[in-house]
Amino acid sequence: MAKEINNGILKVGGVSCDKLADTCGTPLFVYDQEELEKQLWSYKKYFRSDLFETEIIYASKAFTCNAMLHLLKQYGFGLDVVSGGELYIAHKADFPMDQVYFHGNNKTIDELELALNLRCKTIVLDNDMECKALIDTAERMQKSASVLIRVNPGITAHTHKYIITGDMDSKFGVALNDEKMLMEMIESINNSQYLSFEGFHVHIGSQIFDLKAYEILIERMIKRIKKMKTDYKIEIKALNLGGGFGVRYTEEDEPNSIREVCERIINKCEAELKASDLSIKKLMIEPGRSIVAEAGYTLYRVGYLKQTPNISYIFVDGGMTDNIRKALYDAKYECDLANKMDLKKTIKYTVAGKCCESGDILIENAMLPKAQMGDLLVVYGTGAYGYSMASNYNRLNKPAVVFVKDGKTRIVIKRESYSDQLRFETDEEVIV
């Protein structure tokens, strides 16, 4: 990651981090908008084929807000939502509903009704019970939608157990080899006058570096598509391969470039389709983390420091409330003192948050210059699943979010106040 430094101070998007912190406060999520746009442009440039249509669908769970949705519209991306809330925010941002894909393993009837009322074009069914629920809801409301079925390919990606989604015991999807259930679902969908079956969706996990996993996935999916056509005369029009492409959090990470990811997937799909004498109408992928992670930074103010017999602690004014990933699955990050970028790193620190939890640790064994109260700590690669997983634990306020580009700063999400946290408090009697 190239770093712009001026007089020992880190700059993001042409703006000094000390000025960002002084003006907007800390903790603060900072997105380099030029980096975001570079990632979006790269996916649009390289995920293309002469044999089939392609679509890049942004996984909004990684990070979403109006400003992000407007960027996605500008670059012609689709949108993956996994809840009624994400769907509603997309609607309020005037995101084109014919480019929205509604995922989730346990959609409520209210969520299905919302999707149909908002004319969400594609609903991704996760299981047979949900299939029946959607059919009943669509027929009752007389509303139409296209449908993908999420299948579980039985591929175990080499990543943390909490972000594996494609092994046989995953909570997601219908087993790819459960032919009976797949055929029953497809037949039920095709018998509905309001739903149209388009194809399959699959996702094997997150933070995956070995592209061979996707090639194995493609082989397996094309084989199934061939069997569906040969044995049942069912044409699969669309295939969504999900996302999960790895990003760089630390120096040990070696992610593939967007170009390599796209070309390997496109080339493999084209080759397998030709070898099987098949065609599909559209191929889709769903990057999220790989678009926003490395474009995001978190700025913290250093508070107290503490020395124990074995550990030198830096305490910051945020913690697991704005980045739960370390506590959740021991995610690794790198950091610097943003106001001391030109000084030698001589001390090994553990960066800890202010929450009343021993597990509220952001980074262990971070080599930094000698730290002092008031220093500015920057953590890199926090653009994915930082703000979107943020909480009010210990009644801490959620941070603000800014986009920076060409020396200009925009606040795109305001910082919460204590009074904001009280806005739903009530003492209202209800009759039950």
In the block, tokens 């995922």 appear at 103
Q: Tell me which H or E stretch contains 198.
A: strand 195-201
Nearest by Cα to 392 from 359, 415, 363 = 415
Interatomic CA distance for residues 277 and 424, integer angstroms: 58
Alpha-carbon Rg for the chain, nearest whole angstrom, is: 23
For residue 276, report the phi and psi dihedrals to the nearest 5 degrees: -95, 0
For residue 252, the Cα-to-chain-centroid distance in whole angstroms is: 21
283, 50 Cβ separation under 8 angstroms: no
Nearest by Cα to 153 from 172, 176, 169, 174 = 176
178, 227 Cβ separation under 8 angstroms: no
Quote the DSSP letter at residue 324: -
Quote the DSSP letter at residue 352: E
The SS3 assignment for 380 reads: strand
Task: Specify whether 120 is catalytic.
Answer: no
The SS3 assignment for 13 reads: coil
The DSSP line for 98-111 is GGEEE--SS--HHH
Q: Which of 17, 262, 269, 356 is catalytic?
A: 356
Would you please indicate which residues are annotated as catalytic (active-site) residues?
A: 356
